[in-house]
Amino acid sequence: MKNSISNHSEIMLPRLKNLIFFLVFLISAVISTSSYHPLDSLTPSELNQTQTLVNDYFSSPHQNERFHYVGLDEPEKSDVLSWQSSSHTQKIPSRRAFAIVRVNSKTHEVIVNLSNNSIISDKVYNGYGYPLLNFEEQLAAGNLTLSYPPFIASIQRRNLKLEEVVCLSFTVGWYAERKSSRLVEVMCYYLNGTVNLYMRPIEGITATVDLDQMKIVAFRDRAVVPVPKAEGTDYRSNSSVQDLVKQVGPGFTLDGHVVRWANWELHVSFDMRAGLMISLALIYDSEKGQYRSVMYRGFISELFVPYMDLTEEWYYRTFFDVGEYGFGLSTVTLEPLKDCPENATFMDGYITSQDGSPVLVPNIICIFERYAGDIMWRHTEAGIPGQVIREVRPEVSLVVRMVAAVGNYDYIVDWEFKESGSIKVSVGLTGLLEVRGTIYTNKDQIREEVYGPILAENTIGSNHDHFINFNLDLDVDGVANSFIKNNLQTVRALGNTSPRRSYWRVNSQTAKTESDARILLGSGATELLVVNPNKKTKVGNFVGYRLIPGVITGPLLSSDDYPQIRGAFTKYNMWVTPYNKAEKWAAGLYTDQSHGDDGLPVWSSLRNRKIENKDIVLWYTLGFHHVPCQEDFPVMPTLTGSFELRPTNFFEHNPVLKPSQYATDPPNLSASGDNSGAFTR
């Protein structure tokens, strides 16, 4: 009888626990529904709810269950736009979470309905590639190496102190071999007099770790190479900024995750894979008296960093920082007065740990007004006799910023919104180089290929690239848009019509299908426009936005090289696809050890869908070829690249002709209208 009661309790207690949890959730949902935005990041309570439901579903906590991603399973775009155009009076779409979980060495895609506390689906992924690495397994792989007897012997052979050694995990890529295991290569560095471990690599030693089994499956000690010196590598300063932050009131309002500033309204959220996400960006048109849509969603989809060193410990260093390591997972706390100015407002974010529990990362995003002394527009007129007329508008903009420290590099990401309607997106590269130890102490000694310049004694800086792909779902004054390529062509003057012999004109081509819109920039003068073919200005031009590239960079690897096969989205600077909720990641959902059989190039090339007058998405790649120099050593000053989304015939005239009436009193009326993109305020 005792055993029967005990067994009955074991069955009933979890059910009772779930019932209580569900009732508490329903009560809290009723109280807080009005404050939700359908694109808000998952809250700590929602992350806890997801963890509990997934654990119960797999009868966990299970020894072999590991969470690799938990994020918002976005509602259908049409539902979000309907909710928005109804002045938020429609019922908010059901809140759902998407989790990627490894259980017994299998990858599960689990969708959780948070609104009714249930598991909607569980799909086992059987294709190539693996999910994001989580922090815990990377740390465990490094610690495993530090306690491995052959590794300890190798460290002793080099007369190094084991307690000064730090080991890090590196993804291994794919080189046409058949892999059935989640593997990382572990490389180690030496402190002993510096915190700049990346400048002191211990070359020649590599341990291969199976992450699912968490054991070393291969070990190599190839050669003893001098460890670069610690002298001159420490980048810390003894000075500090005062802890007291001057309280300056922001010129914007923050309502949950919705930011209103000047003539802009936008939604800011955080994802543990993508990091900062900007959604539902609207701009107020004072002449029309309404908000108009510009962008439904913008975020970094992938960041591909291939190194050019072909030596044994380096050839596989071809990183996908979003799909392998998680750009959001790598996002760091921002320091007031250092990372962001004194007038900044901060937002927190949450990631999930290996067991699925939420982890707070404070001050993960900052928002501030920037006045850098720039000029928005000006003119001085001295042509009128007896008069000098001068009119100037200072540039004030709104910046939304995050910083991701992915291993050695720190990436500063700014979304800057201007009253003129422009959105400038910048990525700054700083942090520490990946360097290789060498026997050489001077450039004149080198008589072989070393794959980069010498930066200091026994220190080679490896040549490499950075390709940052942005997913830009523009909705220019509505959902239905077209992509136009304007080629500027030289034309010879005919006959005797003019003393001139040439001029240039614009040859416009509207892309009908995805293949028409693939563009490799650099071969000529080209304008890239997204227009709404259903709406025109008073003088007959299609309303639109154009993308203005910064420095144009393309891949230099051969198309049959394995890293390039996996990073084939870099083949073109621009791709355009029809909107598809499932198509978010340029290198595919499962990037670690992927084979290049999923992602943007595959979707676009195989389907070649129609994109004229459709809901379309731009995929733009910002790139850098980085040949290191001595000024990058021991820490690299920020190198910045950017692009701009600029209104082109979107307004009837200059929208900032007069000083902004919204700088101190932004319009904050309820939205009304339909899904066409025009929202009356």
Reply yes or no on whether the pLDDT at 338 is more than 90: yes
The two three-digit tokens of residue 290, written as one number? 């309404």
Reply yes or no on whether the pLDDT at 551 is more than 90: no
Reply yes or no on whether the pLDDT at 561 is more than 60: yes
Residue 29's pLDDT band, with cuts at 50, 70 and 90, is: very low
Q: What is the average pLDDT value for the chain, to the nearest integer? A: 88
Residue 60's pLDDT band, with cuts at 50, 70 and 90, is: low
The two three-digit tokens of residue 334, written as one number? 């921002």
- The pLDDT > 90 percentage for the chain reads 77
Q: Tell me, what's the pLDDT at 155?
A: 96
Q: Tell me, what's the pLDDT at 391?
A: 87
- SS3 string, 269-318, reads EEECCCEEEEEEEEEEECCCCEEEEEEEEEEEEEEEEEECCCCCCCCCCE
Mean pLDDT lowest for which of 79-93, 109-123, 565-579, 605-619? 79-93
DSSP readout, 232-275?
Answer: T-----S----S-------SEEEETTEEEETTEEEEEEEETTTE
Residue 206's pLDDT band, with cuts at 50, 70 and 90, is: very high
Long-range contacts of 547-551 (CB under 8 A, 24+ apart): 547/472, 547/574, 547/618, 547/620, 547/643, 547/644, 547/645, 547/646, 548/643, 548/644, 548/645, 548/646, 549/521, 549/573, 549/620, 549/622, 549/643, 550/622, 550/641, 550/642, 550/643, 551/623, 551/624, 551/641
Identify the residue whose tokens are 């915190």. Answer: 195
Q: Mean pLDDT, to the nearest integer, of 662-680?
A: 38
Q: Please state, in angstroms and rounded to a whole number, the distance separating the CA atoms of residues 43 and 303.
A: 26
Question: Which H or E run contains 29?
Answer: helix 2-32
Residue 248's pLDDT band, with cuts at 50, 70 and 90, is: very low
Domains annotated for the chain, with CATH where assigned, are 2-125 (3.10.450.40), 135-221 (3.10.450.40), 252-483+513-521+529-680 (2.70.98.20)
The two three-digit tokens of residue 607, written as one number? 């389907």
**303-328 pLDDT tens trace:** 999 999 999 999 999 999 999 999 99
The two three-digit tokens of residue 457, written as one number? 């004694």
Residues with a catalytic annotation lie at: 321, 409
Reply yes or no on whether the pLDDT at 189 is more than 60: yes
Identify the residue whose tokens are 């962001």. Answer: 340
Q: Tell me, what's the pLDDT at 62?
A: 55
Q: Tell me, what's the pLDDT at 316?
A: 95
Q: Please state, in angstroms and rounded to a whole number, the distance separating the CA atoms of residues 355 and 1.
A: 36
Reply yes or no on whether the pLDDT at 345 is more than 90: yes
Reply yes or no on whether the pLDDT at 165 is more than 70: yes
Tell me the CA distances in angstroms from 42 to 35, 50, 258, 329, 459, one per residue in order.
13, 10, 15, 15, 44
Reply yes or no on whether the pLDDT at 32 is more than 80: no
Q: Please state, in angstroms and rounded to a whole number, the distance separating the CA atoms of residues 507 and 489.
A: 7
Number of residues in the chain:
681
Q: Which carries the bigger pLDDT value, residue 661 or residue 508?
A: 508
Q: Tell me, what's the pLDDT at 362?
A: 97
**121-156 pLDDT tens trace:** 999 999 999 999 999 999 999 999 999 999 999 999
Q: Mean pLDDT, to the nearest integer, of 201-229?
A: 95
Mean pLDDT lowest for which of 31-35, 424-428, 453-457? 31-35
The torsion angles phi and psi of 410, rounded to 5 degrees, stand at -110, 130
Q: Which carries the bigger pLDDT value, residue 663 or residue 547?
A: 547
Q: Which carries the bigger pLDDT value, residue 485 or residue 89?
A: 485
Q: Tell me, what's the pLDDT at 388?
A: 84
Reply yes or no on whether the pLDDT at 331 is more than 90: yes
Reply yes or no on whether the pLDDT at 380 is more than 90: no
**398-430 pLDDT tens trace:** 999 999 999 999 999 999 999 999 999 999 999
- Amino acid at site 504: W
Q: Tell me, what's the pLDDT at 384?
A: 75
The two three-digit tokens of residue 437, written as one number? 């130890």
Mean pLDDT lowest for which of 212-216, 240-244, 475-479, 569-573? 240-244
Residue 668's pLDDT band, with cuts at 50, 70 and 90, is: very low
Q: Tell me, what's the pLDDT at 251?
A: 82
Please report the beta strands in 137-214, taking only residues with DSSP state E, as ranges in sequence order.
Answer: 165-171, 183-190, 205-210
Q: Mean pLDDT, to the nearest integer, of 165-194?
A: 91
Reply yes or no on whether the pLDDT at 663 is more than 60: no
Reply yes or no on whether the pLDDT at 393 is more than 80: yes
Reply yes or no on whether the pLDDT at 5 is more than 70: no
